[in-house]
Structure 1
Amino acid sequence: MGDGRAKPFNAGYEWFNTSANEVVYDTAISYQNTYTGGVLQQATSVVTETDQDCYEYETGCYSIYGVEYKPGFDDAYITWMSDNKQAWTLTVAGLAADSRVDISSRPVLQEPMYLIMNLGMSHNFGDVDLAAIPFPVHLRVDYIRVYQPSDAINIGCDPDDFPTAAYIARYAEAYVNPNLTTWEDDYAQEWPKNSFLGEC
């Protein structure tokens, strides 16, 4: 239900999920996901049962889901909600430095984001009985609300701390041309330099 992605990865994709860093509010319906990552991602994830009546061919009711987060390093956190109740919380201490792989602490996401609503299915989160699902199926969304603290409004993709609009405008074709699948060969651009490697 709630899933966060962290890079760089901890040793063995094992984030610091102590009881202080991973708060599960109802262990009768929520549990640590056994999938913790692979070569392309590390997952900080808890699986939560959802209200089964709120699926299309049941009663068709609506269920309230939510995410609340405070970005940064200090007292940052992410809390996922299901059925209008807190499901679990990840505190930033779970993303602490890992000397086993020489990585520093990672923040709770600070960059601008967008919301995606989809009807994604995966056998990784439980059995999916595809033969019994009467396709096509639909995801009905009644409303989406976004709240922000009045002293920390962040709208758009170009905040002062993480400017991106000029970069996107400069390389606009890379974002809109599906035939450009490689940066250097197809798009004929120089590979970006990395200040951590002393290239800038």
Structure 2
Amino acid sequence: MQIVLATHNAHKVDELRRILEPQLPGIEVLAYDGPEPIEDGATFTENALIKARAAATHTGLPAIADDSGICVDVLGGSPGIFSARWAGPARDSEQNLRLLLWQISDIADDHRGAHFTCVAALALPDGAERAVSAEWPGQLLHEPNGTNGFGYDPIFLPDGYAISAAELSAHVKNQVSHRAMAFEALIPVVREILGG
């Protein structure tokens, strides 16, 4: 059986294949090459479902999508759903990271709490859909460290670690990240619905 990942982000495709394929034997995980829907939802769940529905409709296959972002306590949970375009519509990861660091540059360490949120969604061509969520708590560093991640990973210090998310190995990150936890929670749903 085939299932499509509703993302054009090659980093996410690689990461999700490493998480999903070992636990879903017999299911081939495909990259999505169709049109990108307008993510006009007001929550991570709404946006994840928008992407999954669009991919399922376009391909005629079951589709998995996620929506994720970083939520900073002193910014009232922002950037949140705007994480990918925090510095503008260009979706420039480096500019997003730099803007966020500048915005909290005078905030003391004990007030730099943040968490990554991820909602993973499954949508079927027949309209059936489910979504699950997970959070990865931590705090923001003052400068980027590491090259093993993308987005805000270089400035995120996960609880329980002395290194940034971008300094964790792919193996560790695929066990403890918000995306890993959300997709781990989605795997039983996929098995239940698709019989994988």
Provide the TM-score with structure 1 as the length reference: 0.24
Greater percentage in helix = 2
Greater RCO, 1 or 2 (C-alpha within 8 Å, sep 6+)? 2
Question: Which protein has the larger Cα radius of gyration, Structure 1 or Structure 2?
Answer: 1
